[in-house]
């Protein structure tokens, strides 16, 4: 173990990487906050993120490096998969847990198939240029904080800005009020003449769109390539973050940063050649997810109509 490498620069690097690694989880979690607040548990996030990662990559690749086009394609893909989850859970009233699993299985398979059909098996995977870092003038010059917070790509800033935006929409708009109400007391909303299904579709589509974008961050915001199952459980971790956050956008940011930190720490410990096998370090984020989930779940107050399909008059 080489502790001589642990310099201030090294620690700043870990914290800066925590934000980057937390970004895809944050994006998916922010959307899932809306989805779950409306009473729907979308466990299809993992599959939707994979589809977003793939379509973001393909869109960028096909347009000769237009990342915005890739991002848009990922967003649309996320919306389509959100609608599919909405159809399963709201219209067909299928058990949401299994419906979400089905979406994850479909997204995993479809992303792999489309990638293979597009590129075949190559020794050198196709690559794209990722969103470049945009250091914010002046702010990025602030010692320590500037490097940690203001030296990222546009997607990272956008995700961070979405946190207060989501908070305002959820707590300070009629739309947000309606979303929270259908998750707590759908009957009351229905008698007010607001469509329970409509609100839930809107919420699950927001969740799908952000999961698609979160997945796209992996391919066009961070790695520049696509590989099978590159999300590696991020979708499920995002659901855990939402429970951890008690369905709040601001606390979701905190949760996403915890997981970003776990991932970043794991990578850093490997470069320090700590006397622990890399396989055990790779387990870290998953172990932390379980520990955190257990820590918060037994006293978390889930939305009252959580995962319950709405039937008028409780028929």
Residues lying near another protein in the complex (CB under 8 A): 43, 46-47, 84, 87-88, 91-95, 97-110, 112-114, 116-118, 120, 228, 232-233, 236-237, 239-240, 243, 277, 279-280, 282-283, 286-287, 289-290, 293-294, 297-298, 300
CB nearer another protein, residue 110 or residue 136: 110
User: Closest separation between CB of residue 81 and another protein, Å?
Assistant: 11
CB nearer another protein, residue 41 or residue 203: 41
User: Closest separation between CB of residue 84 and another protein, Å?
Assistant: 8
CB 220 within 8 A of CB 103: no
35: how many CB neighbours lie within 10 A of its CB? 32
CB nearer another protein, residue 97 or residue 145: 97
CB nearer another protein, residue 87 or residue 157: 87
CB 289 within 8 A of CB 240: yes
CB nearer another protein, residue 228 or residue 273: 228
CA 188, CA 117: separation in Å to the nearest integer? 49
DSSP letter at 156? H
CA 149, CA 257: separation in Å to the nearest integer? 12
User: Closest separation between CB of residue 296 and another protein, Å?
Assistant: 9
Task: Provide the token pair at 101.
Answer: 């699993």
Quick one: CA torsion of 303, 205, 229, 290, rounded to 10 degrees?
-10
At 79, is the secondary structure helix, strand, or coil?
helix
CA 74, CA 81: separation in Å to the nearest integer? 10
User: Closest separation between CB of residue 79 and another protein, Å?
Assistant: 17
User: Closest separation between CB of residue 76 and another protein, Å?
Assistant: 17
């Amino acid at each position: 173990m080489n502790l001589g490498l642990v310099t201030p620069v090294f620690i700043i690097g870990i914290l800066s990487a925590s934000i980057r690694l937390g970004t895809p989880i944050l994006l998916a979690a922010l959307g899932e906050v809306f989805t779950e607040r409306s009473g729907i548990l979308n466990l299809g996030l993992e599959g939707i993120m994979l589809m977003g990662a793939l379509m973001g990559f393909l869109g960028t690749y096909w347009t000769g490096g237009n990342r915005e086009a890739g991002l848009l394609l990922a967003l649309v893909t996320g919306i389509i998969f959100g609608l599919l989850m909405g159809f399963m859970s709201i219209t067909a009233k299928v058990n949401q847990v299994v419906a979400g699993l089905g979406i994850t299985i479909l997204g995993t398979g479809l992303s792999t198939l489309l990638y293979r059909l597009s590129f075949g098996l190559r020794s050198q995977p196709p690559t794209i240029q990722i969103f470049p870092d945009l250091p914010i003038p002046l702010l990025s010059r602030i010692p320590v904080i500037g490097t940690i917070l203001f030296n990222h790509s546009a997607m990272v800033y956008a995700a961070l800005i979405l946190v207060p935006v989501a908070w305002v929409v959820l707590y300070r708009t009629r739309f947000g009020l309606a979303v929270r109400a259908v998750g707590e007391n759908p009957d009351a909303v229905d008698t007010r003449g607001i469509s329970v299904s409509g609100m839930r579709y809107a919420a699950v589509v927001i969740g799908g769109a952000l999961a698609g974008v979160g997945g796209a961050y992996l391919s066009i915001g961070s790695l520049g390539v696509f590989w099978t199952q590159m999300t590696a459980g991020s979708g499920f971790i995002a659901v855990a973050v939402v429970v951890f956050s008690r369905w709040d956008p601001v606390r979701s940011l905190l949760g996403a940063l915890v997981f970003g930190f776990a991932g970043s720490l794991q990578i850093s410990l490997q470069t320090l050649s700590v006397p622990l096998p890399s396989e055990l370090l790779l387990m870290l984020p998953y172990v932390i997810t379980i520990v955190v989930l257990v820590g918060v779940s037994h006293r978390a107050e889930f939305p009252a109509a959580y995962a319950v399909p709405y039937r008028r008059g409780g028929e």
